[in-house]
């Protein structure tokens, strides 16, 4: 039986190593090395956090390589939501770090912007050969994917942000990583959740993005899943938000 010409061609291409292949995530090795070298537990202004050595980061060639990896990667080749979310969270965090590094030293990432054009709306990097802002990645891409745990993973280089995870996000480990980020954030009374009497004072993130948590049953249900609260506990998203840079 004669093999159809199309199948024959496909077989030849695969044999030569040029046939269709599943999407592969970027090599995050430079980013992993940067995080291991320059992110460490610290206390700043009474808050426990993972702090960044920005001066050392600025001088580390691996950081430039990690940013270049993101900017050169063809995003459209990523096939699953897990691949896309992991990539975009890493991209956001790398670009936020780059914004600080490019203006180092500074007291707050917000100092990079102005009242009329805040830092979130300034070009932070390039995706698919087009300039993007931190707002683009957060609001126009990640939030639209419908997983509110991303708010525990993207880090705007500030003390009150969720901690910068000391490892890259990957599709294979994303679900466990996001669950752990939510758990760790809510376990931190300095910026995630502080119980006082019958009230849980939580990060303003839960107020700013309240509607995003509806897919998880609302803010109270989301928090209760990761940090069980006593019965009849009220929740106020009113913890002070410290925009000081998360440096050391």
User: Per-residue pLDDT tens for 3-62?
Assistant: 444 433 334 333 333 333 445 899 999 999 999 999 999 999 999 999 999 999 999 999
Whether the Cβ atoms of residue 39 and residue 50 lie closer than 8 Å to each other: yes
Give the total number of structural domains in the chain: 1
Please check whether residue 158 lies inside any domain of the structure: yes
Cα 230 to Cα 183, 185, 200, 220, 239: the distances in Å are: 17, 18, 10, 12, 19
- Alpha carbon distance 89, 152 (integer Å): 10
Task: Print the domain residue range for 76.
Answer: 28-236
Other beta carbons within 10 Å of 73: 18
In a domain, 21, yes or no: no
Q: Is residue 19 part of a domain?
A: no
Give every residue of the chain whose pLDDT is below 50, as ranges: 1-22
Q: Retrieve residue 131's tokens.
A: 């300039």
In a domain, 16, yes or no: no
Report if residue 2 sits inside a domain. Answer: no
- What pTM did the predictor assign? 0.90
Would residue 242 count as lying in a domain? no
Distance CA 145, CA 89 (A): 12
Asked whether residue 161 is assigned to any structural domain, the reply reads yes
In a domain, 4, yes or no: no
């Amino acid at each position: 039986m004669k093999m159809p010409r199309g199948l024959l061609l496909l077989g030849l291409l695969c044999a030569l190593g040029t046939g269709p292949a599943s999407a592969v995530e970027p090599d995050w090795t430079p980013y992993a090395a940067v995080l291991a070298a320059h992110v460490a537990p610290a206390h700043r202004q009474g808050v426990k956090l993972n702090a960044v050595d920005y001066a050392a980061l600025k001088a580390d060639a691996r950081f430039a390589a990690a940013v270049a990896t993101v900017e050169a990667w063809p995003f459209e080749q990523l096939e699953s939501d897990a691949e896309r979310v992991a990539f975009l969270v890493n991209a956001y965090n790398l670009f936020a770090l780059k914004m600080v590094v490019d203006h180092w030293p500074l007291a707050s990432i917000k100092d990079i912007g102005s009242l009329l054009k805040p830092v979130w709306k300034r070009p932070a990097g390039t995706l698919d050969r087009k300039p993007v802002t931190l707002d683009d990645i957060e609001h126009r891409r990640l939030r639209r994917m419908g997983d509110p745990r991303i708010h525990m993973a993207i880090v705007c280089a500030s003390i009150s942000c969720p901690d910068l995870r000391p490892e890259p996000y990957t599709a294979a480990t994303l679900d466990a990583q996001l669950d752990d980020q939510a758990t760790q954030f809510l376990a931190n009374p300095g910026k995630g959740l502080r119980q006082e009497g019958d009230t849980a004072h939580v990060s303003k993130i839960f107020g700013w993005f309240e509607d995003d948590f509806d897919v998880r049953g609302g803010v109270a249900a989301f928090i209760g899943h990761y940090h069980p609260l006593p019965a009849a506990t009220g929740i106020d998203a009113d913890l002070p938000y410290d925009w000081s840079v998360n440096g050391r």
